[in-house]
Amino acid sequence: MNSLNHTDLELRPLLDRRSEKLFKILNYNWVIFPITAALSFLGMDTQFTDPSGVVEAVVKPGVLWTSDCTIIAIVLVPFLIAQIPPYFILWGLCLPIRPFSYANSPKQRSFRSLRVCLVTKATNVQTVINTVDLWKPLHQSFRVRFVVVIDSPHNPFIGILPSWVEQLQVPPSFQAKHATHKARVLEWYRQNTDLTDQDWVLHLDEETEIDEYLLNTCLDFIERGSEDVGMGTIYYNAYNHWTHPITTVAEILRIAENFGRYQLPVRFFHQPLLGFMRGSFLLLNGTVENAIGWDTDCLTEDHWFAFYAAKQGFKFGWLNAIAREQPPNSLVDLLRQRRRWYSGELMIDSWALRVVVAFNMLEFVANLILWVPL
C-alpha cells in the first residue's frame, strides 16, 4: 500500500476547497446537465446515425438486422435493463440536487456526540496511519470523537496513533450469534458503546479519506436535518487510480451511480432502492444502530442493514460531500470484490433485489467484455 508523504498531506486542504467548489457548481446541475446531455445525444446522433435513425456502422443498406446488431444487443441490452427505473444516472444528474439544503436550514435537533469510527484488521497499518493523519485538522471539532476499532489480538498502533484517537480492540473471544468478519466487529462496537438517539456514528473503511468539508456536512445533517441515516458520494481517486486502467474504469462507473441508483431514491423518497447502500461514509443515528444491529451472516452487511432499516421506516438522507478511496489493486481483486457483493446481495430475502442483482451481474460481465480489450 502506498504511503502519503508530507507533500501529499499539505495538499489535502486543496481537496477540501475543491469539494466546496464542485458542489457550488452542482447547485446548478438542473441547468448544466440537461444542456450537456442534449448536446451529447445530438452529437452522437449526428455522428453515428443516418436520417432514418439506424446505426450505419452495423446495418447494411436494405437489411433490417445483421449479426453485428445481435452482438451489440447482447452487450448493451443487459446494461439498459439494469437501469430500472430507466436512466437513473441521467435523471439524478438533471433533477435539482440542492447540495446546500441542510446548511441553509435552521437547526432543529441537538446531539451529544459524533463518533468517527474506522474499522481495521490491522493488516494495512500504514493505510490506517495515513487516514488518521488526515483527521488532524478535524480532531478539535466540538463533540466529535475519533475511534479506531481493531479486529486483531495484536494492536500495532500503540504509541503510533495520536492520543486523541480512541483505540478499541475486539476480544478474540467475542462471538456474535450470526455475524462474522466486519459485521462481527461492528456488532461488538455497538454492544459496547452506549449509543442513544443523541449519538451518531460515521462509519469509515480504513482507506476512506475525509476532510473538513465532509465533517461539516455531517454536522449540518445531524443538527439541521430530520433523517436517521445519511450516506454520501465516494470517489475512487485517492491514489493509484490510474495505475490499473480496468479497475479505474470500473470505479468511475460506480462514481456515476452515486447520482443514480444510490442518490436519486434517497433524495425523493428518503429510502434506498432495495437497500443499496455502501458501508463507508455512512452516518447512523444511535437509535437505528440499536434497532437493526449488525448481527447478520450476510456478506454485505451494509446492504442488509439498509434493507431492514428501510423496512422499519427509518428515513434516509444524502450527504453532499465527497469521501475518497482507492480502486482495487488488480483485476483479480476487482473480481473477488464483486463476487462478494453479488453473493451477499443474493442472501437478502427479496426477490425484487435478486432480479436486480442478476441484471447487475450481466451488466458487469458485458462491461468486462468492453474493458478487457483496452
What are the pLDDT digits (tens) for 174-231? 999 999 999 999 999 999 999 999 999 999 999 999 999 999 999 999 999 999 999 9
Q: Residue 1's pLDDT band (boundaries 50, 70, 90)?
A: very low
Q: Residue 57's pLDDT band (boundaries 50, 70, 90)?
A: low
Nearest of 164, 165, 166, 186 to residue 176 by alpha carbon: 186
Calculate mean pLDDT across residues 263-286. 93
In degrees and rounded to multiples of 5, residue 41 shows phi and psi of -65, -35
% of the chain beyond a pLDDT of 90: 54
Calculate mean pLDDT across residues 291-304. 96
Could you give the domains of the chain?
29-94 (no CATH), 123-143+173-370 (3.90.550)
The per-residue pLDDT of the chain, averaged, comes to 85
> According to the model, what pLDDT value does residue 10 have?
47
Nearest of 308, 283, 312, 311 to residue 296 by alpha carbon: 308
Instruction: Give the H/E segment covering residue 310.
Output: helix 301-311
> According to the model, what pLDDT value does residue 327 have?
81
Checking if the pLDDT of 54 tops 50, the result is: no
Alpha carbon of residue 110 to chain centroid: 27
Calculate mean pLDDT across residues 222-245. 85
Higher-pLDDT residue of 115, 53: 115
Residue with cell 460506480: 254
> How do strand 229-235 and strand 282-285 relate by DSSP bridges?
antiparallel
> According to the model, what pLDDT value does residue 252 have?
78
What is the distance between the alpha carbons of residues 160 and 154, in angstroms, rounded to a whole number? 14
